[in-house]
Amino acid sequence: MKAIIYEQFSVRPEFLEVPDPEPSPDGVVLEVRATGVCRSDWHGWVGHDPDIRVPHVPGHELAGVVVAKGANVRHWEIGDRVTVPFVCGCGDCAECHRGDQQVCRAQYQPGFTHWGSFAEYVAIHRADLNLVRLPDWLDFDVAASLGCRFTTSFRAVVDQGRVGAGEWVVVYGCGGVGLSAVMIASASGARVVAVDIAAESLALARELGAEVVIDAQGKAVPEAVVEVTGGGAHLSIDALGSVGTCVDAIRSLRRRGRHVQVGLMAGEHADPPLPMGRVIGYELEILGSHGMQAHRFPAVFGMMATGRLDPGRLIKRRIGLAESIEALVRMDRFESSGVTIITAAHSD
C-alpha cells in the first residue's frame, strides 16, 4: 500500500510503498476513505510522544470500510462503514469495565502506539469494543473530522465541563479543537467567548456561534473576559496547550468555575506554573480531557441528525495523501483555519 512514513523525528516524511497490514485475531483492516491532519500528528512527528517508534506512519482521525477481519471479530462484517476513537480501550482493565476507555491502562492509539491512517489501509485492534458504525447519511470526510478534535471537544465541553444553557464558556485557541468547542458549546445553549490571535480564525468562530471574539495580541485577555461576562466564565477551555493560554483560561473563570485542559501540554509547556491561590480561593475545578469513548459517539450523531451540530462546516481544505506531508510539517505555523482532510479520491 501507499503510505506517508517517517524514519526519524523532525525529518521530512516520505510517500512510499509499504506492506499491507494484516488483521489481528480480534481486529480488522480498514480501507481508509478519509483521515484528518491534526496538530497531535505534528507533535508525534517532532518527537513529543514517547509511544511512537520509528519508522512510523502517522494519522489518527479516520473513517473507512472494513476490508478484512480477524477470526474472533463478532460484530463487524466486510463492507461496514466505520470510524474509531483515537484512544482505544483494551476491554479488560477496571477503567474499560466502567466505560472509561479513553483512560484505559493498556490503551492503544492508531498513529501513535502503532501505524496510523496516513495510508491506504490501517489495522485496528479489539474491533468489537472500539469501532463505531457510521450512519448512512454521514460522509467519510465529515466522519474523519470527528475522530480527535470534535469528539475530544464534545467530551471536554459536555461530559467533563458539564456545560449548561445560559452559561458563559471561554475557548482559548480557535484551531480545529477550539472551533469544535465553540460550535458544541453554542449548540448546547451556552454563550461563547472565543480567543485567538488570527482574524480569520476569530471570524470563523463567530460564524460557528461565538457571541464575543477577542484578539489576544497585546491585550490582558482574562480581564477582558471577566468584564464581558459580568464576572468571569463558568467554563474555560484551553484548546491550544501553552503555559500562557492555560493560565489565562484559569484566570478567566468566575468563582466556582470549571477549567478543562484539552490542548496538549508538551515540551517546554509540559509543567505550567498554575495560579493555585486563585484555584483555592475561588474553589475552581481543573479537569483534563483525553478523547472520547466509542459508546459516546451516538450522542454526537444525534445532535448532528437534528441539525444542532454541523461539523462539516469546520472542513476548509481537502487534499491528497501525498500533499499531507507538507500539511503535517507546517502545522506549527497555524497558517490556515478550520480542518484539513485527506481524501481517498486523491491518494493517487
The tens digit of pLDDT for each residue in 241-274 reads 999 999 999 999 999 999 999 987 767 788 888 9
pLDDT, residue 347, reads 44
Of 110, 104, 103, 152, the C-alpha closest to 264 is: 152
User: pLDDT above 90 covers what percent of the chain?
Assistant: 88
Domains and CATH numbers, the chain: 2-148+292-346 (3.90.180.10), 150-288 (3.40.50.720)
Taking alpha carbons only, the member of 191, 252, 197 closest to residue 223 is: 252
**pLDDT tens per residue across span 95-143:** 999 999 999 999 999 999 999 999 999 999 999 999 999 999 999 999 9
Strands 14-17 vs 121-124: parallel, antiparallel or unpaired: unpaired
Residue found under cell 523532525: 10
Residue 165, Cβ density class (10 Å: 0-12 exposed, 13-18 middle, ≥19 buried): exposed
Looking at the predicted structure, is the pLDDT value of residue 147 above 90? no
CB 36 within 8 A of CB 86: no
Burial class (CB in 10 A: 0-12, 13-18, 19+), 281: exposed
Q: What is the pLDDT of residue 270?
A: 80
CA–CA separation, 334 and 39 (whole Å):
10
Give Cβ neighbours of residue 330 (< 8 Å, ≥ 6 apart). Answer: none
Encoded amino acid at 128, one letter: D
Amino acid 274 reads L
The answer to which of 123-132, 296-305, 326-335 has the lowest mean pLDDT is: 326-335
The owner of cell 456545560 is 163
In this prediction, residue 335 has a pLDDT band, given cuts at 50, 70 and 90, of low
Give Rg (Cα) of the chain.
20
Q: Grid coordinates representing 323? A: 500533499
Which amino acid is located at 297 in the chain?
F
pLDDT in tens, 195-244: 999 999 999 999 999 999 999 998 899 999 999 999 999 999 999 999 99
Q: CA 234 → CA 167, 184, 198, 257, distances in Å? A: 6, 15, 25, 5
SS3 334: coil
Alpha-carbon distance 48 to 71, whole Å?
A: 36
Q: In whole angstroms, how far apart are CA 161 and each of 124, 182, 287, 324? A: 30, 13, 8, 33
Mean pLDDT within 287-293: 94
Instruction: List the one residue out of 333, 312, 310, 325 whose CA is nearest residue 59.
Output: 325
pLDDT of residue 346: 43
State how far the Cα of 232 lies from the Cα of 251, in Å rounded to an integer. 8
Q: How confident is the model at residue 155 (pLDDT cuts 50, 70, 90)?
A: very high
Give the mean pLDDT of the chain. 94
Choose among 85, 149, 157: nearest CA to 339: 149
Measure the CA–CA gap between 23 and 102, rounded to whole angstroms: 22
What pLDDT sits at residue 344? Answer: 66
pLDDT of residue 168: 98
Whether pTM > 0.85 for this model: the answer is yes
Per-residue confidence (pLDDT) for residue 348, from 0 to 100: 42
pLDDT value of residue 148: 85
